Structures are given as C-alpha cells and as structure tokens.
Amino acid sequence: MVRPIDVLIEFDGPLTFTFERRDGGLALAHLAAVGTSARRYLASNTSKYIVSDLKGGLLSIREALQRSQLWIIDVSSDGVIAAAWHATSDNLPEGALPAEGVLLTPELENKQAADDKLARFVRSATDGQIAFGGAPVEHHSIELGFYGKFCDRANELLKQIAANLGLQKSPPLYVGMSFQSSYGVELRLGQTEPAFDDMFVKEFDDADKAREAFDQMMAMLMDEQQRPEAITMVKTSQPVRHEFGKILELISTHTATIVVRTRTQPEERKLSDGQAADRLVRVRRLGYPYNYLYVTGILIGGLTKKSNRTEPNFVIRVQKDKRDQDFRGPVSPGAIQKLGLVSLESPVRAKLSITDEDGKDQSYTLEDIDPVSDNEPHSIS
C-alpha cells in the first residue's frame, strides 16, 4: 500500500513523496508516468536525512533516488502496488530520471544561484564546513596549537554525543583542506562498519545516527537558542558537558571565532569568543538553561526523615526507549514535606538540581515533586 507521508512536490495530487514500506522503513517515490488506472513511480529506500538533504537542496532528485536500489512501482488509484520491479539508471528510458542537478524546487535552485558560498558547500558534498577567524588566524594561516586542540576536542565531543545516542562506535570525522583559504576546512563523517547481522535490516540506521551526532555537536556549539535535546544531553551527561566545556574554553581563551555550515543547516552560523565565554560560564556553573532537570517517572525509593546514617533521599526511575534510568540523591529541605505526601511506586514529575562532582560524575538534589496520572509518559528534559 502506498500512502504518502511527507509530500515534497504536489500538483493536483502528490508527485514526489515519502511512504512507509511494508517492513516499516521509509521509501521515496517520484512520479514517472500516468495511466488511466494507475500511476508509475520511481522509488527507492530512503532515510530522514536523505529527505532532509533533498528538501534543503543538498541533494538533487536524481541523487536522492539513486542512494539505494531503484524500483519501478505501478500504483493503482486506491494505493495498491499493482506491479514492482528493479531498475537501474542504465536500463531506464532516457529522461525517466530528472537531469543531474535538478533540485526539488526552483526556489532551491535560485537560492544556490544567488549564493556562491552556499553553492560551493553543496558541490563539496561534505557533511560540514568550518572556517576559523580571530586571533589564531593570521594571513590565511592558523596557529597549529589551537587547530590541533580544536580538532581533538571536537572529535572527543562527537564521541561522547555518539555514545549518548547509542552508537556503539563513534563515526570517524575526516578533515579536508580543500577550501581556497587555508583556515577553512571541510568535514566529512566516515562510515562505521555495521555488524553482519545488521547489514540488511539497518541500511541507514548507523549513518543516520552518525549524522544526528554530528548535527547535535554543531547545534550545541553554534546555536544561540539551544535545541531542547542538546540542553537535555548537556544536563544529563557529564562527559558530554565536560567535552563541551573544553571546546568552549578553547575558543574563548584563544579569542577565536568559528563559522559553520552543515547539511542540515547549510546557512552560515557564527560563534564568537564572547559567545563561547558566556556559554562556558553557564555550562560550567550549570546556569540557565542547564540548571534544572525535569523528570517524569516512578518514585521507587525515598526517605523523608533523617535516620542514623542516611539523609532524606529519593530514587525516581524513568523508563524511556526501553531503558531504565534511575535518578537518585538527597532532598532539599523545601521538598521534604511534599515527598512525604507521595506514596512509593507512584508516578511523579520532579524538578532536580544538578551537582557536578569534581568533573567526574554528577548527582541530583530533589527540589520539587508532584504526583501525576498513571498514563503520563516518562520523560527527561
């Protein structure tokens, strides 16, 4: 059954769109011909990042379709696939695929025609571009000490973010000096080899996660308004916060500036040494927006009175993504009474303050707690 999910081009109906395959994966369909009782599409397996690149003008329609095995499918008016067969670009009739370089919309083509730098980034087919400025840069040369440390710290931050997203191996990050200016570099994510068992069912999974990790890192570094998932990661993962702080410290102490383009956000984003310094203070001191963690889960342990050896404490279990995560620690004086009113094994929403334990670990203090309904989804934010 072909039911459009995300319609990318429409004209009296969807012409290019994504749909869910029988195995649950995502496919891209592009209209090739129209009959009186069926429509013929070119289709291929796709991923959310291929679709994102297509929408952003980073991939042409032809490239997006050819990222995976190409199919021809005949779809009847009720959405049923009447026939399907493999195709290759060689055995398709001339003109079946849009020409090289044809983007999803004329607007995307016009935007690149008007912006040479953007067009050069698109042509580079890399995952990102980064340009350095400020004190470490002198006449198109960059101070090696700064540059080496920056690469090292960016690599470490990417590793921590990848681990946090559940990638078993961090994607290798390649740096290419193919810009005209010597202080600008291109970044390319390498591929991690999938385990044999996963080769056929996880065609895009690891590549998507690697891309997600890279996007998270760049968003964490560059976005003035941090993404909610980046804020949560900085609050919940001490190693991520530690590496994030180190790279911010490097930029601020070297009075450097960096300018970044990524495939997900091809427009330039800039970070100055002043912005890095401000963000560093907030990250290190766990100031806004990193000051409190909000969790919804089950209160599985708690003591409201001081006993001989133990201060009042709490344990809240959050079940998320088929994983149990326990948050535990002391209770602030203001929350003791409210904790006493909540029975064990009840669903709760709690506000926790975070304490960094000498840069090695972190602990939580219960600041507030309220019961919630049984069907409240578990969350960490």
Partner 1 sequence: MKCETPTESTGPSGEAKHDFSWLADLKSCPPPDAQPIDGTFYVFHDFDPPSTEADFRTAAQRGQFESLDECARRSNSVWSDLAALKGRVADLKKRYPLRPFYISEGHVKKEHGVVKDSDKSHCSFWVCGRTCMHAIFKRRVV
Q: Which residues in this chain contact partner 1 in the complex, by CB under 8 A?
A: 9, 11-16, 30-37, 61, 77-79, 93, 95-99, 102, 104-106
- Give the residue from 312, 26, 10 showing the smallest Cα distance to 18: 26
- The DSSP code sequence of 50-113 is HHHHHHHTSS-HHHHHTTS-EEEEEEETTS-EEEEEEE-TTTSPTTSSPPTT--S-HHHHHHHH
Closer to partner 1 by CB, 2 or 260: give it.
2
* Amino acid letter for position 191: Q
- Of 31, 24, 25, 35, nearest to 8 by C-alpha is 31
Give the nearer residue to partner 1 in terms of CB position, either 76 or 365. 76
DSSP 32-59: EEE-SSEEEEEEEEE-HHHHHHHHHTSS
Give least dist CB 119 to partner 1, A.
18
Q: State which residue, 34 or 281, has the beta carbon closest to partner 1.
A: 34
Name residue 333's amino acid.
P
Q: Are strands 14-20 and 26-34 parallel, antiparallel or unpaired?
A: antiparallel
Shorter beta-carbon distance to partner 1: residue 30 or 241? 30
Q: What is the CA radius of gyration of the chain?
A: 25
Least Å distance, CB 106 to partner 1, is 5
Choose between 60 and 262: whose C-beta lies nearer to partner 1.
60
Report d(CA 296, CA 91) in Å as an integer: 55
Retrieve residue 43's tokens.
């289709």
Minimum distance, C-beta of residue 66 to partner 1, in the bound complex (Å): 15
Closest approach, Cβ 88 to partner 1, in A, equals 17
Residues in the chain: 381
Least distance (Å) between residue 20 CB and partner 1: 16
User: In terms of CB distance, is 14 or 57 closer to partner 1?
Assistant: 14
Cβ atoms of residues 45 and 203 within 8 Å:
yes
- The span from the CA of 381 to the CA of 376, in Å, is 14
| CB closer to partner 1 out of 2 and 189 | 2
Q: How far is the CB of 39 from partner 1 (least distance, A)?
A: 10
Beta carbon nearer to partner 1, 104 or 130 = 104
Task: Please tell me the distance from the alpha carbon of residue 127 to that of residue 264, in angstroms, as a whole number.
Answer: 9
Which among 269, 224, 274 is positioned nearest to 248, based on CA atoms? 274
Instruction: Give the residue with the Cβ less far from partner 1, 51 or 157.
Output: 51
Burial of 256 (0-12, 13-18, 19+ CB in 10 A): buried
Q: Which is nearer to partner 1, 96 or 259 (CB)?
A: 96
Shortest separation between residue 64's beta carbon and partner 1, angstroms: 12
d(CA 236, CA 221): 17
Nearest distance from C-beta of residue 314 to partner 1, angstroms: 45
Least distance from C-beta 82 to partner 1, angstroms?
Answer: 15
Q: How far is the CB of 89 from partner 1 (least distance, A)?
A: 13
User: Would you give the end-to-end CA distance of the chain in angstroms?
Assistant: 37
